[in-house]
């Protein structure tokens, strides 16, 4: 469709662009949550590194016991949840920057959501299972 | 309506001189994408621990192989670089560090700091983590 088709010609340029900017979407909230989750992970990174160090070289039973400890489980859960939101938002920005075909963009955004939810839920499930003493 | 005028488009990346901050902006994004897919490794690890000795054995033999360690080393660097580079973005978000020497300094700090932290983590891991 060209800009000078008769139907569009009668509209003012302002009318054509209204609602297409940041105000028409959740972009500001996305920007904000990208940073909230980043601060969260910044706080959690040292405990998480310590936890990973504690687990190195252990067998399954030993690793499971440490990961099932309430404080460790909670720290890992917080990190996994924050990273899930952070990576979903980050990949959304990448998709919107590089994929311009609407259909492909929709598929990519869906795939991004499914991947982020599935991967993080797998981690959350594993931690909950280990910490519930089964 | 008048005919459509072919106005000049805004110049893209190739027009500009290559700068450090520009290159590191791309690296920040690239490490973010790498970490995105790297979460599969984290989920696999946690699921393996939750599943039992058999599944954990498969994971351990993968991550203990030279290829597994290479991926893990790359993952460590991507995480540390993205972290420090992210702190740099926070400084900019708060409105500081935009001067020529400041922004270059911040970028070098993130670049060198990321490498230093990665090596440090691996030294500590081998020293006490029973890194095998």
| Rounded percentage of chain A residues whose pLDDT exceeds 90 | 75
ipTM comes to 0.87
Q: Which residues of B touch A127 (CB under 8 A)?
A: 46, 50
Please tell me the distance from the alpha carbon of residue B102 to that of residue B112, in angstroms, as a whole number: 15
A22-44 average pLDDT score? 88
DSSP character at residue A10: T
Tokens of B66: 């030279």
| Of the candidates B76, B74, B48, B51, the residue with the CA atom closest to the CA atom of residue B62 | B48
- What pLDDT is stored for residue A20 in this prediction? 73
Tell which B residues from 12 to 71 touch A, by Cβ distance under 8 Å.
29, 32-33, 35-36, 39-40, 42-43, 46-50, 52-53, 56-57
pLDDT at B84 over 80: yes
pLDDT at A65 over 80: yes
**Which one of A56, A67, A129 has the shortest CB-CB distance to B125?**
A56
Q: Which residues of A touch B127 (CB under 8 A)?
A: none
Per-chain mean pLDDT for chain B: 91
Interchain contact A67–B (C-beta under 8 A): yes
Residue of B nearest to A3 (CA): B4
Task: State the smallest CA–CA distance between residue A16 and chain B in angstroms.
Answer: 16
Phi, psi of B95 (to 5 degrees): 95, 10
Contacts of A83 (CB under 8 A, 6+ apart): A37, A41, A120, B39
Q: pLDDT higher for B33 or A19? A: B33
Secondary structure (DSSP) of chain B: -PPPP-PPPPP-GGGSPP-HHHHHHHHHHHHHHHHHHHHHHHHHHHHHHHH-HHHHHHHHHHHHSHHHHHHHHHHHHHHHHHHHHHHHHHHHHTT---SHHHHHHHHHHHHHHHHHHHHHHHHHHHHTS---
B88-104 average pLDDT score? 93
Task: State the smallest CA–CA distance between residue A46 and chain B in angstroms.
Answer: 11
B99-110 average pLDDT score? 93
Determine contact, residues B104/B20, Cβ cutoff 8 Å.
yes
Residue of B nearest to A7 (CA): B1
Please tell me the distance from the alpha carbon of residue B50 to that of residue A63, in angstroms, as a whole number: 9
Interchain contact B3–A (C-beta under 8 A): yes
Secondary structure (DSSP) of A20-44: -SGGGSSHHHHHHHHHHHHHHHHHH
- What pLDDT is stored for residue B129 in this prediction? 64
- What pLDDT is stored for residue B132 in this prediction? 46
pLDDT at B95 over 70: yes
Q: Which residues of B touch A129 (CB under 8 A)?
A: 50
pLDDT at B1 over 60: no
Per-residue confidence at A6, pLDDT binned at 50, 70, 90? Answer: low
- Could you report the per-residue pLDDT of B25-56, keeping only the tens digit for each? 999 999 999 999 999 999 999 999 999 999 99
Tokens of B64: 């203990």
Domains of chain B: 19-127 (1.20.1300.10)
**Contact: A54, B125; criterion CB under 8 Å:** no
pLDDT at A2 over 60: no
Interchain contact A99–B (C-beta under 8 A): no
Per-chain mean pLDDT for chain A: 89
User: In sequence order, what E strands does chain A have?
Assistant: none
Task: State the smallest CA–CA distance between residue B99 and chain A in angstroms.
Answer: 23
Please tell me the distance from the alpha carbon of residue A100 to that of residue A86, in angstroms, as a whole number: 22
Tokens of B29: 């994004």
Domain A26-131 architecture: Up-down Bundle (1.20)
| Of the candidates A52, A33, A7, A11, the residue with the CA atom closest to the CA atom of residue A93 | A33
- What pLDDT is stored for residue B131 in this prediction? 47
Per-residue confidence at A47, pLDDT binned at 50, 70, 90? Answer: very high
């Amino acid at each position: 469709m060209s800009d000078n088709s008769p139907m569009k010609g009668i509209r003012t340029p302002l009318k054509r662009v209204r609602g297409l900017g940041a105000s028409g979407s959740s972009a500001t909230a996305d920007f904000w949550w990208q940073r909230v989750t980043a601060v969260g992970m910044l706080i959690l990174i040292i405990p998480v590194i310590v936890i990973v160090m504690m687990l190195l070289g252990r067998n399954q039973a030993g690793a499971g016991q440490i990961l099932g400890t309430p404080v460790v489980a909670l720290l890992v859960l917080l990190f996994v949840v924050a990273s899930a939101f952070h990576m979903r938002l980050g990949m959304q920005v990448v998709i919107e920057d590089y994929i311009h075909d609407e259909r492909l963009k929709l598929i990519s955004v869906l795939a991004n959501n499914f991947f982020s939810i599935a991967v993080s839920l797998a981690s959350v499930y594993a931690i909950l299972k280990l910490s519930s003493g089964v | 309506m008048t005919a459509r005028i072919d106005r000049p488009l805004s110049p893209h990346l190739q027009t500009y001189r290559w700068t450090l901050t520009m290159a590191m902006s791309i690296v920040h994004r690239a490490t973010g994408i790498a970490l995105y897919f790297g979460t599969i490794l984290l989920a696999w690890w946690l699921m393996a621990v939750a599943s039992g000795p058999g599944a954990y054995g498969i994971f351990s033999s993968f991550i203990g192989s030279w290829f597994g360690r290479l991926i893990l080393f790359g993952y460590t660097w991507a995480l540390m670089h993205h972290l420090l580079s992210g702190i740099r973005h926070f400084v900019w978000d708060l409105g500081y560090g935009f001067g020529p020497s400041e922004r270059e300094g911040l970028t070098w700090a993130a670049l060198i700091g990321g490498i230093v932290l990665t090596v440090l983590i691996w030294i500590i891991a081998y020293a006490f983590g029973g890194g095998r």
